[in-house]
Structure 1
Amino acid sequence: MAGALVLVLGDQLSPALSALEKGDKERDRILMAEVAAETVYVRHHKKKIAFLFAAMRHFADELRSAGWTVEYVPLDHPDNSGTLGGEVARFVAAWESDRVLVTEPGEWRLQEEIGTWEKSLGCEVVTLPDSRFLASHEEFSDWAEGRKQLRMEYFYREMRRKTGLLMEGDKPLGGKWNFDAENRKPASADLFMPEPLRTAPDVITRDVLDLVRRHFADHFGDLEPFWFAVTRKGAEAAFEQFVADALPRFGDFQDAMLAGEKFLFHGVVGLYINAGLLDPLAVCRRVERAYLDGDVPLNAAEGFIRQIIGWREFVRGIYWSKMPDYAQSNHFGAERALPDFYWTAETDMACLAATIGQTKEEAYAHHIQRLMVTGNFAMLAGIDPHQVHEWYLAVYADAYEWVEMPNTLGMSQYADGGVLASKPYAAGGNYINRMSDYCRGCRFDVKKKTGKAACPFNYLYWDFLARNRDALDGNPRLGPVYRTWDRMAEEKRQAYRDSAEAFLSCFD
């Protein structure tokens, strides 16, 4: 009797993957493939492609060492069809497989494609739940049912209770669920800044770097220096260094930004978790242990754990419960094209130049740079949220649609009209000045509110609120802001609108 074809996708590099657990090493064979279609549906950062291909190749070797028969198809193999469906069909026929086993993908478009395979292949296709997440689709739906608003904070509490992380019975350790109020300190350049662990490319990775240079030279971003870990052992070492060196101060400074400091106290481990090299619950338990052992303060441990079992799980639940309509969200009807400087980093706005510049170099920027610099500007300027979504999906090594789309359309752009966030994360230049030192090196003056010399965030903020009043006026959290606008002299309001119009005309 023929065995099954077990398909392992590029972000499923976990030995505990449900498709592997259901497979039989004696009868079944694993297929892994680098396919062109998955590299160009958005034009992914060169470093992102290199990370995934190198990690996939190393994981294939890990599976072989564990006793699996693995067929690995490189991108430039002469028989590579260029699509996942094409490769599955090719090997189902070659192996005479009686069924396909696959863990559910993280993107709606792939789920829809896989749903057509059973008919086209003429064999059973079994799609299994992704057990690497804490909350199943059904569990999230049960939690969300009947709620007028879906808010991460309340979902997070359920995940704390479910896992027991940082709990004392049914009460949170420290008496509070959330220590975010302690995690908003601006940083200063005289702090010791730990660096993420840098891993030298081995032979396999160097081969991948050569392949990416040949095939993706016109994609966004710098390929080298390439220092990401691409094995489970390397990812675990990078995480341990973060716990030892950066986590103790991560809580205090997780929202801070400094010119010339790309990482501050961040772990740069999201790409390892999202690709499957690190287990999300295991890293949370390691962080909890660091707190219980007295190595890190509670606000740091809680802040990190909330990002994983709270926010990460919550946005996945939003994505799968709201797709496919969610992808079309555009609450403000924004239509302006994404400015070219999002690809070049060539702008006189120092905060944007720094954030986009490091994105180009590292395929990484931390959450406040994404939310309050590139995201805030895009929303204030009225940029088409679908173009913003595609940019984020393309440029960051940790970005997959299930996690990126809700963060962009919901959190960053408020394009979903409040499904995910209670208000738009809109801010003028004062926020960036308070949380960073970017403004010191900028040709625009953050203290000036209007005119050519003023920080564009200042007048874009008020212009955004004014032009979107019909869409936002009922939001109770914005009532005081609109009352401030209404109290302004007409000349002042007009100066904000005129400054914004003059600035934005440069991008039309």
Structure 2
Amino acid sequence: MSRLIVILGDQLSPALASLRQALPTDVIMLAEVPGEARYVQHHKHKLVLIFSAMRHFAAVLRQQGFSVCYYHYAEHAELSSLSDAVKLCLSQHQQCKELLITECGEYRLQQEIDSWSERFNLPVSVLDDDRFLCSKAMFAQWADGRKQLRMEFFYREMRRYTGLLLDEQQQPVGGQWNFDKDNRKACPPDIQQIPPLNFTVDDITRQVISIVDQHFSDNMGNSAEFHYAVTGKQARQAFLHFVDKQLAQFGDYQDAMLQQQPFLFHSICSMYLNCGLLDVRWVCQKVESAWREGKVSLNAAEGFIRQIIGWREYVRGLYWLMMPEYKTRNTFSALTPLPAFYWHGRTKMNCMQQAISHTIEHAYSHHIQRLMITGNFALLAGLNVAQVTDWYLAVYADAYEWVELPNTLGMALFADDGLLASKPYAASGAYINRMSNYCKNCHYNVKETAGAKACPFNALYWDFLARNQQQLSGNARMQLAYKNWYNKTPEQQQALRQQAATVLQQLEQL
């Protein structure tokens, strides 16, 4: 009996659980589905990456002797959803009497998959996605009975589970689990980034670029500037370049930001990990080996591994534990419409212009630009949570809902009632000035809090504290901030809040 094995666009890994079970009699289906390509306005580079990587992956499967059913974008007008593609494939391969798929990365799509057994009147097997180190069940077991689900404690369990960066006594090398305090140095202004490895597009990618330009002409980005890896081999080359050239400085400067240097020393491996071109175990082992061989410092190796087996696994576990209710949370009732400059990048705030222009050009900005620039502004201005999360999901090549939603709704916007983060990551212009050189080239003055030239982040920061005082003043990690607010005179407080009101009234003109 033949089976139809469905492979999704973020499952392009030969180690995928369903592929490991593939038999010569099975049919493997991949489909460029309009419904998935259009449910948010995905960046052109994201679409090119996924479609091209899917086509390259299908070519490898065919070379390995598998029977592959592939539906190209817009070649079948009747295909609007993944279920439509499955229905068509079953009609064309009537020998398939069972469906096999690895669990997907989005609650919405998984609900659709869970309807297939009844819809197609066939047995459907959904396998655990063991490309992740922590299964949904394992995370739920860890979370059970805990009052707080903090990443740090989960991370320690994952270190013990994987054995990464442990000594012979199974204790953390260097005597501590976390070297985060050593990852926060500001870059010297004259330092030059070492950019990620770029790749020349081939015929397959050129065909995809043509399709994206034809059908997604209004989406963000310029397809002609696409230069990312689209095969597992290329992705591994790109990551080895990071380990060899960038990792040593990544440790000190992973939180830093510099004018016109969007990558600094970041790997951009998240876009490859999240679509399946890289394997989590392999990348962590390469980084650990670099440290053990004396090529990089411990804070570089630990800082990277923490992001992968700590944060990445943690947000996935949290997502599946809390969905679908999680997506509806909005702690501060933030409803201000998303300003248009989030899409076009034309703003006098240089930090925002830098982060958004990098996003437009590369479908990428690093985690501090996302958290402390675009995310921080959205938090302070009370921007609509659903619109902000949709924006992050659309514009970044590494964004899939399981990773994007907790990072945006929980970490950046603190909209989940403090489930993920212990405090809001709210900051005035002083933080941005400390961690970047953006403020030196800005229309606004980071030292001023009032007037037309005052940095918008400053008054918005104090206004955020004031308007959310009832919810936040009891937070132990916010005590210093509120002490500073209470130390201001009523006249100073009123002036700051009036300045913030002016800023909010003029959002589109900032």
TM-score between the two structures when normalised by the length of structure 2: 0.98
The count of aligned residue pairs is 506
Counterpart residue type for residue 480 of structure 2: P
Q: Which residue of 2 aligns with 1:443?
A: 443
**Larger deviation: 361-370 or 441-450?**
441-450
SS at match of 1:141: helix
Q: Is the 8 A contact 2:355 2:369 kept in 1?
A: yes
Q: Which residue of 2 aligns with 1:145?
A: 144
Q: Which residue of 1 aligns with 2:80?
A: 82
SS at match of 2:30: strand
How do 1:427-438 and structure 2 match up within 5 A?
427-438=427-438
Cα separation, 2, equivalents of 1:192 and 1:386: 37
Q: Which residue of 2 aligns with 1:213?
A: 213
Counterpart residue type for residue 475 of structure 2: N
Q: Which residue of 2 aligns with 1:112?
A: 111
2:474 matches 1:474? yes
Q: Which residue of 2 aligns with 1:406?
A: 406
Counterpart residue type for residue 195 of structure 2: E
Q: Which residue of 1 aligns with 2:391?
A: 391
Cα separation, 2, equivalents of 1:507 and 1:273: 36
C-alpha displacement of 1:192: 3.6
Cα separation, 1, equivalents of 2:214 and 2:280: 34
Cα separation, 2, equivalents of 1:99 and 1:189: 59
Q: 1:211-234: per-residue Cα shift (whole Å, max 9, x none)?
A: 101000011222221100101110
Cα separation, 2, equivalents of 1:473 and 1:192: 41
C-alpha displacement of 1:80: 5.3
How do 1:26-45 and structure 2 match up within 5 A?
26-45=24-43
Q: 1:300-339: per-residue Cα shift (whole Å, max 9, x none)?
A: 0000000000000000011000000000010000110000
Q: Is the 8 A contact 1:35 1:80 kept in 2?
A: no
Q: State the Cα RMSD in Å.
A: 1.0
Q: Which residue of 1 aligns with 2:60?
A: 62
2:256 matches 1:256? yes
Q: Which residue of 1 aligns with 2:158?
A: 159
Cα separation, 2, equivalents of 1:264 and 1:224: 23
How do 1:127-138 and structure 2 match up within 5 A?
127-138=126-137
Q: 1:158-197: per-residue Cα shift (whole Å, max 9, x none)?
A: 0000110000132000001000101111112322421111
Q: Is the 8 A contact 2:331 2:416 kept in 1?
A: yes
SS at match of 1:443: coil
**Larger deviation: 15-24 or 108-117?**
15-24
Cα separation, 1, equivalents of 2:376 and 2:205: 36
Gaps of 5+ in 1: none
Percent identical across equivalent pairs?
52
Counterpart residue type for residue 313 of structure 1: E
SS at match of 1:483: helix
SS at match of 2:101: strand
Cα separation, 2, equivalents of 1:452 and 1:468: 25
Q: Which residue of 1 aligns with 2:343?
A: 343
Counterpart residue type for residue 76 of structure 1: A
Q: Is the 8 A contact 2:69 2:89 kept in 1?
A: no
SS at match of 1:167: coil
C-alpha displacement of 1:430: 0.4
Counterpart residue type for residue 255 of structure 1: D
2:46 matches 1:48? yes
Q: Is the 8 A contact 1:411 1:425 kept in 2?
A: yes
SS at match of 2:265: coil
**Larger deviation: 466-475 or 429-438?**
466-475
Q: Which residue of 2 aligns with 1:265?
A: 265
TM-score between the two structures when normalised by the length of structure 1: 0.98
**Larger deviation: 64-73 or 427-436?**
64-73
Q: Is the 8 A contact 1:452 1:499 kept in 2?
A: no
Q: Which residue of 1 aligns with 2:484?
A: 484
Cα separation, 1, equivalents of 2:392 and 2:192: 30
Cα separation, 1, equivalents of 2:30 and 2:228: 21
C-alpha displacement of 1:385: 1.0
Q: Is the 8 A contact 1:380 1:460 kept in 2?
A: yes
SS at match of 1:135: coil
Q: Which residue of 1 aligns with 2:422?
A: 422
C-alpha displacement of 1:72: 1.0
Cα separation, 1, equivalents of 2:34 and 2:89: 17
Q: 1:259-289: per-residue Cα shift (whole Å, max 9, x none)?
A: 1101000011110000000001110011000
SS at match of 1:294: coil
After TM superposition, the runs of 4+ consecutive aligned structure 1 residues lying more than 6 A away are none
SS at match of 1:230: coil
How do 1:236-255 and structure 2 match up within 5 A?
236-255=236-255
C-alpha displacement of 1:133: 0.5
Cα separation, 1, equivalents of 2:288 and 2:485: 45
SS at match of 2:266: coil
C-alpha displacement of 1:21: 1.4
Cα separation, 2, equivalents of 1:83 and 1:146: 39
C-alpha displacement of 1:79: 5.5
Q: 1:89-130: per-residue Cα shift (whole Å, max 9, x none)?
A: 111122121111000000000110011111110111111100
